[in-house]
Structure 1
């Protein structure tokens, strides 16, 4: 009995090992992943989408990064232009301008978003010192810098330029220098140029000079972590001497708050919502805002509902017609 029992144990152990090896072999067999694919709609859908984006509404502004991935056809839609919600109006190309040679799929998807979906694609530049070493710090350097930005925008067939006004004590901390830069750019971009190309200023600490209001389409405030309608109202009041309500875009950051949709935000009625949703619902007392936005919005793709917070905020700001 003991020998038979021992032999049974040995046979059972060998059977378990054989099953385990078979299971391991099965798991190691390469198999294609069933990745989510972009939805393709009818021509009529895209005609209506472009009409919506050309209509009078509060626009959504997105700083986009994490694309420019080699082999992007197999990348997550969170790293592709094709994954961005169709209702996004403007994309600032924080991840750089896609290269048609080295990043052909990103380039193709960007052009499809731009030309078929009607999404505005903006070149973007910082004005900190490390970006300006090739330019002299004088009036000639200002013109050369502006002209290079214009050339880059036109050569890449983009819809405009997003100027990140964070001088951090550098040459453009002197507002006279920054004014000269925007005035030079405004000859080729923005409402004074007659080109239809966008010129905007985004800012964090330093506020853009009021004198520049007629020369830019809008300003985007990095109102990161702002927790109330009263806080946004105060922020807008600080520039309202020059910039109209329709030129003001408050923006949240999903560099920090993507998993929660923002911080807790108290609206004008005392209700608490997520801040991105609050930004979408809020308007200055002086009139309707021009739009709102988010930095690193592509991270919202990885929430339970892909781009769920962004879609909810856009819908709350611009309810779909029934």
Structure 2
């Protein structure tokens, strides 16, 4: 293990320059854990994935202290692969691994396992917007209302979007609209993996539903969602949201071995759950759940004076999570 780390730290030189990829599907996309530093003065980072695009090799990388992910082009020297167990040992004191360890504490929950709440030092919430497969168009009211209310004090406005592969596949125009808001610096987005197909049955019990359905290929559900994100020019985050918020202990722990942090909620608005400071709020932006959207719009109107005064905020989920674990 020490020899591997030594090789990774001393010999691996990878450019940290942001890369602009083409719009092709990544090839050879796979889980690939490895340690690297771009020089001897910077902190160690973790490679999560490796892939090829247009003949060049790239890595999806995470800073384990900030949870920020990025895509970099590989150098000629490829860092040696390590196991998930070795990742846990090497980065055990970082917010990244500490958060995953914390999330596992409620991994036996059939519904809403994972991180569900943060402890902020200000009033406000972390908003997560789920985009499950849907025939309906994107509910743009969410985004236009958020920008109108928060842009004065929080520019760009931080959001977390849990997106499924099929939604991206079927809603190119809506996705392009979101990407335009990002390019215009109106919003920033943490793109949370929400599985590719988001299977659901109205007849099966929860313990045999969603990703617990027999025959589900979890590798395909996770990795193909990341692949289409990259094809669309999006950077996959290190976060995962279970479809229907449904999982069992075995599935939960399997997802974490992909290097992913499961994110739940303590305030699914369409189900009437109350919002508190530090809540990870869930609404659906796919047009299927207008009740939750209406409740959220009512909430930000109610908090309007506090929002304008900068006393009620939409937090950056990535920063909220790292702040949570450091306390």
TM-score (norm 2): 0.32
Higher helix share: 1
- Structure whose alpha-carbon radius of gyration is higher: 1
Higher strand share: 2
